[in-house]
């Protein structure tokens, strides 16, 4: 809501951001002199002149925007000893130096994201209400609670001037719900004590000591096992000799038959 236009009566009544109308009395390359109804003149520098048709454009020629005799809306920037500095740019409702933690403000929801809500509070940029700061109850997505254009009350949690971030909270101004009462656990019903059944441990197997004969037999078997490769080798050699002798005998018989 726009603030009402005021016509100051004394220099001491002028305050920064005060809005009123002034009449252009003189123009120059640097700016314009305005009559604001005070003994001190109002000075509007060319850098503070706004072209309504192109609000973001830089004004290079003052007379293309305002002329002597025009009545224009201006705001007070500073009050000096010999003049009052004016601007055609509407000042911010909140300067960075004015925003402090724990301030309670009223703003308008201007953007919704999955992670939170952006609220216009009159500062250089909107503040952010994280989804976890919307309500004491669980909020899955912001649009379940608010919509663009809603007017909401917020509390400033943190201001980062370097990053130009303003963290806000809606739930900080809401009454916290009372904790739910938890029913005490009922004690377990006492029944008859279970009778413990003693389980006998299995008897350990007793292995008797070996007798003298068993020891002698085991030693003989071990020696036989160790000599097995040697015996096998001897058998193979013996078979080889027998085969060789049989071959010699066969050749001898065949030779004798040929002679006869």
pLDDT score of 152: 96
- What residue spans define the domains of the chain? 12-87, 96-173, 221-251
Radius of gyration of the chain (CA): 54
Architecture of the structural domain at 96-173 = Beta Barrel (2.40)
Burial class of residue 128 in the structure, from the number of CB atoms within 10 Å of its CB (0-12 exposed, 13-18 middle, 19+ buried): buried
pLDDT score of 24: 95
Q: Which helix (H) or strand (E) element contains residue 106?
A: strand 104-113
Q: What is the mean pLDDT of residues 71-97?
A: 92
**Low-confidence winner among 91-100, 114-123, 206-215 (lowest mean pLDDT):** 206-215
d(C-alpha 249, C-alpha 72), whole Å: 145
Beta carbons within 8 Å of 26's beta carbon, 6+ residues apart:
32, 33, 68
Q: What is the mean pLDDT of residues 174-197?
A: 70
Query: Would you say 128 and 120 are in contact if contact means Cβ atoms under 8 Å apart?
Result: no
The neighbouring-strand residues paired with 152 are 107
Inform me whether the pLDDT recorded for 43 exceeds 60. Answer: yes
- Could you give the C-alpha distances from 252 to 185, 244, 257, in angstroms and in order? 111, 13, 9
Inform me whether the pLDDT recorded for 56 exceeds 60. Answer: yes
The pTM for the full model equals 0.53
Query: Would you say 42 and 86 are in contact if contact means Cβ atoms under 8 Å apart?
Result: yes
CATH number of 12-87: 2.40.50.140
Asked if the domains 12-87 and 96-173 are classified in one and the same CATH topology, the answer is yes
- What is the pLDDT confidence band of residue 12, given thresholds at 50, 70 and 90? low
């Amino acid at each position: 809501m726009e603030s009402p236009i005021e016509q100051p009566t004394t220099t001491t009544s002028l305050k920064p951001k005060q809005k009123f109308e002034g009449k252009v009395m003189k123009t120059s390359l640097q700016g314009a002199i305005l009559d604001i109804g005070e003994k001190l003149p109002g000075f509007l520098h060319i850098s503070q002149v706004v072209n309504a048709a192109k609000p973001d454009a830089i004004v290079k020629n003052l007379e293309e925007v305002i002329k002597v005799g025009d009545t224009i809306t201006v705001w007070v920037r500073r009050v000096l000893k010999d003049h009052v500095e004016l601007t055609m740019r509407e000042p911010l409702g909140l300067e960075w130096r004015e925003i402090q933690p724990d301030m309670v403000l009223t703003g308008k929801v201007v953007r919704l994201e999955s992670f939170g809500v952006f609220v216009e509070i009159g500062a250089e940029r909107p503040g952010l209400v994280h989804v976890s700061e919307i309500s004491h109850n669980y909020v899955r997505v912001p649009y379940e609670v608010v919509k663009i254009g809603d007017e909401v009350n917020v509390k400033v949690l943190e201001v980062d001037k370097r990053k130009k971030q303003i963290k806000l909270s809606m739930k900080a101004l809401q009454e916290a719900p009372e904790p739910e009462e938890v029913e005490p656990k009922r004690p377990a019903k006492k029944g008859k004590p279970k009778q413990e059944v003693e389980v006998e441990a299995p008897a350990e197997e007793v292995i008797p000591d070996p007798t003298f004969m068993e020891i002698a037999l085991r030693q003989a078997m071990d020696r036989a096992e160790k000599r097995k490769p040697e015996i096998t080798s001897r058998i193979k050699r013996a078979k080889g000799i027998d085969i060789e002798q049989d071959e010699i005998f066969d050749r001898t018989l065949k030779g004798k038959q040929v002679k006869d």
